[in-house]
Amino acid sequence: MKFSFLIFIFFAGASFLGINQDEHLNLKPDTASKYTIVIHGGAGNISKDLPENEKQEYINSLTEALNIGKEILQNGGSSLDAVEKVVRYLEDDPHFNAGKGAVFNSAGVHELDASIMNGKDLSSGAVTLIRTVKNPISLARLVMENTPYVLLGGEGAEEFAKQMNVEIVPNSYFDTPERVEQFKKLKEKSGTVGCVALDSYGNLAAATSTGGLSNKMPGRIGDSPLINDGTYADNNTCAISGTGIGELFIKNTVAFNISALMKYKNYSLQEAADEMINKRLKPGDGGIIAVDKEGNYVMTFNTIGMFRGAANSEGVFEVKIWE
């Protein structure tokens, strides 16, 4: 009887102090609970004549990234942790235009962008014009969790990175032979990586990272570090990460409008994605990945291809490049 009384006092006190009892006891949800994760490695004019060995390299990278996020979610981890860890992996993979392997601007320098958003409370963090931070997505999360701001850029963001003791690298770290060759030929290339997830707590999160457009003007900022344009998450609707021509995603506020169409017009996730990508934007402009609060997901694009993949608690596991 005395033991039961003490338990009552503990929970009553926790409730009075505003402590979430599940979080206080570090309780995890049933690992069989619903989760969904979707990733992308950029959309664009991806040739269907891609050599088989190169195609397999992309498939292997996407598969590994998807498995990283899936493992976190199926073990009761948060959607926020999942999207950050997946995007960190893609930033470290030289196949993609984010982090290692990012494209050069017209001055021959890498300038990186990233953003992350928590659908639970709309908290957001983003960084832009990053030159020396190895994993911009993790710096974006630190902006979200350790400052009152949403977006930090340039020298201020670099200084904040030093204060947070994140890994700093020389700008040349981001070079790869392929990107050097593209720069020499002044070949335009865009691309972005991203991840969206629904965890077993019902929380949505989204993350996006990019090296931007190759041969871009120094200081150019696209949609990837901009909440509402390239990244958005709201537990009431969905989580979105975009890839494509950033200026058009900004002008059309693509990510937010997908959520808004669901919230105010009662569109389904697929209907909202089709409205923005296939009706508002033009063929070749880009694509998005998204997951809604029920775990439904879409990978909608109007380009030749989009590196992408999805997995969920119902056994779905797919990785694709073209239709």
| From 128, 132, 192, 231, the catalytic residue | 192
Would strands 151-153 and 124-130 be described as parallel, antiparallel, or unpaired?
parallel
Would strands 305-312 and 317-320 be described as parallel, antiparallel, or unpaired?
antiparallel
Instruction: Judge whether 192 counts as a catalytic residue.
Output: yes
User: Minimal CA–CA distance to 134: which of 110, 153, 115, 117?
Assistant: 110
56, with CB counted inside 10 A (0-12, 13-18, 19+), is exposed
Q: How far is CA 198 from the centre of its chain?
A: 13
> What token pair was written down for 1?
């009887």
Q: Which ranges of the chain does DSSP label H, i.e. alpha helix?
A: 2-16, 21-24, 52-74, 79-92, 136-146, 154-163, 177-184, 246-251, 254-265, 269-274
Query: Which are the catalytic amino acids?
Result: 192
